[in-house]
Structure 1
Amino acid sequence: MNNMFVRKWIIAATGLFLCIFLIVHLSANSILLLPEETARGLYNSYSTLLRENPLITIVAYLLYISIIFHVVYALIISIKNRKSKGKTNVVNKYHENSSWTSQNMGFLGIFILLFIVVHMANFWARIKLGFGEEVGLDSAGHIDVYEVTYSLFHNVYYVAFYTLLMIPLGFHLHHGLKSGFKTLGFYHSKGLRILAKVSLFYALIISIGFGIIPLIVFFK
């Protein structure tokens, strides 16, 4: 088993794990669409559960590790592919046999990494580490994560940044979900055709879902 195969397998496995996380995260963000008197309590209770449940804490650390491994190994492979592309293009006709997205997964990944850094600085670092303005409590005594989210989603620059970065995320997910299953050994011909449609549907739901929620909250 060579190093390149191991790296691709790690990227695929961590990527699929992150795809599952995005479904859960989008479900939680959907709470923000409810009336404020309902949404605040539900959102803050959910956030408290994530912080205080030991099992979910373990999953959270697995998530952080997955992000790091996914980014690092994807970067290594992207650099290696860039170096070898000139040598292999003549034989493999790289640009003819692959989509624009597959050729630019590393480029798309840079935008997504930028989004993750900014997003975690505004949420995770502020709530978990206490950076920035102090976060208050709601009427039930929970940390008022809803207020943090609501105020950010009323910042026109953050909303624009958040929404626009969902475009490269959608492209990245569409290709990544398909290629991830193939890397892990899924090669059933009919199954791959179904997987292509599922990947497109998933990418649209996730990217549009995450992108539209800040806009709805902004204009509420």
Structure 2
Amino acid sequence: MKVIATVEPKGDSHVFSFKEQKSNFKSLLPEVNEEIIVIFNNLEIHTTVGDRQYRLNAPKKCKINGKEIKKLSYPELIKTLNLSSNQTVNFEIANKGNLISLVAIDQTENLLFMENGNTIKTIDEKISRDIMSRRGQALFRHRLLERYSYSCAISDCKTIYALEAAHITPHSEEQSYHEGNGLLLRADIHTLFDMHLISINPATGKVVVSNACCQQYNKYKDKPISPMPDKEYIEKHFKIFEENN
């Protein structure tokens, strides 16, 4: 479900407010003072539900790429996100364990963040946009990052900037953002997977590698994949791998 927040002035600061749709939003939010997670691409804000159950309090904890960083004040957060008074932000509601998450799905999803000492920097907008076009839809990638514990499902690479959300059945053939049709893959392995030069044997749940790949990829042969994607998607992908190799 999608919801809209407004950057509402409050004293010398701002808050994220959902008052324009509070009648149906209150039933979706936790109770006042309970924790909620707000996600702007790779920036994760842990906060609590504020007064009247339709405002969010100031950040309690902040993370970039799953690593805790210094806590941001509300003014710092609004400035970092390049937002202004009365601007709206679209979110999609998701679950993270027992917690509710709000995942930004509009202009803020194209922002990538890096920490340099105690300073959070935004990656150049054009570079960020190019990277994001390869990484895949924000909520889909977020779900796969959680599912595969921020590691490439095949190589175990944990360099978050190199990880992409891979559709098993291409998005052009099936408009599905279900995580059962996805894998979190390092960029080069994503390319080989899309070319059916790397696949997963649905009978064994292990990686198979084409002889067309150079030797450096042989180390991934027979790597067990956990959790496995949905069988129907892997079977279709593996069948094409077998036909081509």
The reply to whether TM is greater than 0.5 is: no
Q: By percentage of residues, which structure has more strand?
A: 2
Q: Which is bigger in relative contact order (C-alpha 8 A, separation at least 6)? A: 1
Hey, which of these two has a bigger chunk of helix by percent? 1
TM class by shorter-chain length?
Answer: under 0.3
Q: TM-score, normalized by length of structure 1?
A: 0.21
